[in-house]
Amino acid sequence: MFSYRMHHIQPHYRVQLLSHLHSLAAVPQTNQNQLHLCVESTALRLITALGSSEVQPQFTRFLSDPKTVLSAESEELNRALILTLARATHVTDFFTGSDSIQGTWCKDILQTIMSFTPHNWASHTLSCFPAPLQAFFKQNNVPQESRFNLKKNVEEEYRKWKSMTNENDIITHFSMQGSPPLFLCLLWKMLLETDHINQIGFRVLERIGARALVAHVRTFADFLVYEFSTSAGGQQLNKCIEILNDMVWKYNIVTLDRLILCLAMRSHEGNEAQVCYFIIQLLLLKPNDFRNRVSDFVKENAPEHWLQSDWHTKHMTYHKSAPPSALPLCFRLSLLISLSLSLTLTHTHTHTPHIAF
């Protein structure tokens, strides 16, 4: 309800709602896939919908406790806030004549974000930030795991998966809190080798829960870029595309918008940035699944739904014909497409990635 009525809500109410959503995201009752997605997508819209002149007046109200308007877990939401802050300070010329964030209202916000969700920015994105923000992130650079080590760790965990025989031990090991968030990478390997996922895999996903699964999606996004970057092309690449779409549409393991958000927000450089954008294009444009899902919805539902006498019937019919996440997905993706385009299309090089069909 709030997501699509932003223009009716005053900015101070929107930021207050954002604070409430961050509090709500931490309670056990929201650790359900659909509800967690709803909370995250609403928070994302609240953050990105803030006008450039609204950011400073609203966030300075929370300087005594900036944690309340920041996500303690979601790197993507905090990255979106930094992008909004960078845009606002650029448009309003806030940093004119200054080369540091010291003594400014955004210092505590940025430091709190980096304590909650440490991360880096790709150089082509960072170059578009105001100079003081560039300096801050260069000074607070976060070491990143090499893609080679990620691949090595996935292979090691997959060997454990294949060697373990007791179902309870498997579920406990791969869903244990604090264990490396590699399980989606293992499911990818499983599909690559066997073309199916056994029921134990789904039980592990259920035990991991919606909130913890987001970290697995981030790792999976990095792993995908590595896999596509090192692909030999041809049939192997087509197989990778097929498996990725099966994970989204056939098995409903990860939602399309969550995966695109994570891909768009990663800090890939050079050819890897090109490959990341290439994967987003493939997810949206190459397969018919997403296009067909949207077409099916538009065919039976009018924009002016309040004028339809049988709107509820059509609404429920669509729910019965598609997975629970499909209906809100059609709307949530509009924001993510524009966000991913702004991060990747604008700042990518003109050459194509070193991948061939």
Work out the average pLDDT over 183-187: 97
**Tens of pLDDT along 123-167?**
999 999 999 999 999 999 998 888 899 999 999 999 999 999 999
User: Going by C-beta distance under 8 Å and a sequence separation of 6 or more, which residues neighbour residue 148?
Assistant: none
The mean of the pLDDT values for the chain is 85
Structure token digits, residue 51:
């006008």
The percentage of the chain sitting over the pLDDT mark of 90, rounded to a whole number, equals: 55
pLDDT tens string 211-221: 999 999 999 99
Q: Which of these ranges, 28-42, 197-211, 247-261, has the smallest mean pLDDT?
A: 28-42
Supply 346's token pair: 């604008």
- What integer is the mean pLDDT of 44-68? 90
Contacts 24+ apart (CB under 8 A), 268-271: 268/122, 268/225, 269/122, 269/123, 269/124, 270/349, 271/229, 271/353, 271/354
Region of 325 please: left (phi>0), alpha (psi -120 to 50) or beta: alpha
CA distance 333 to 321: 20
pTM confidence score: 0.86
Six-digit token string for 312? 């509820």
Given this model, what pLDDT does residue 284 score?
86
Distance CA 350, CA 198 (A): 42
**Amino acid in the structure at residue 316:** M
